[in-house]
Structure 1
Amino acid sequence: MSSPRRRRFEAAVAEIAVDPYAHGQALGGNRDRRQATLAGAITVYWVSTGVLTVSVVTVIHSD
């Protein structure tokens, strides 16, 4: 991932960390398993309420 794109991606992850349910969509009917496109990268993430951590499960991108 190029440096400018990486910075945009990291900024988008920071936004998700503030309100993870306001971004993306739930996957497989599970509200906590979510997918969003961040800086052009399809990103799948899990949300754990009460925990201030966002774990990226899969990032698929093409430069």
Structure 2
Amino acid sequence: MKSSQTKRNLIQATIDLIMDYGLEKLTINKVIEQAQSSKGSFYYYFSNIDDLLKETFLYTFAL
């Protein structure tokens, strides 16, 4: 349960950052800071920022 929440937090942080600052300024460090997560957690769920963006895109259309 906690692990799926961590992934959702990372995705939600990505959504928030894109809405606030735009896609061009999105970085892994900003995402993990916003989600209050660790870099290790990020790489557990996503292989890179492109993978995160793909998952975020799919998540927003599943809502």
Same fold (TM over 0.5): no
Larger CA Rg, structure 1 vs 2: 1
> So what's the TM-score if we normalise by structure 2?
0.38
User: Going by fraction, where is helix more abundant, 1 or 2?
Assistant: 2
> So what's the TM-score if we normalise by structure 1?
0.38
User: Going by fraction, where is strand more abundant, 1 or 2?
Assistant: 1
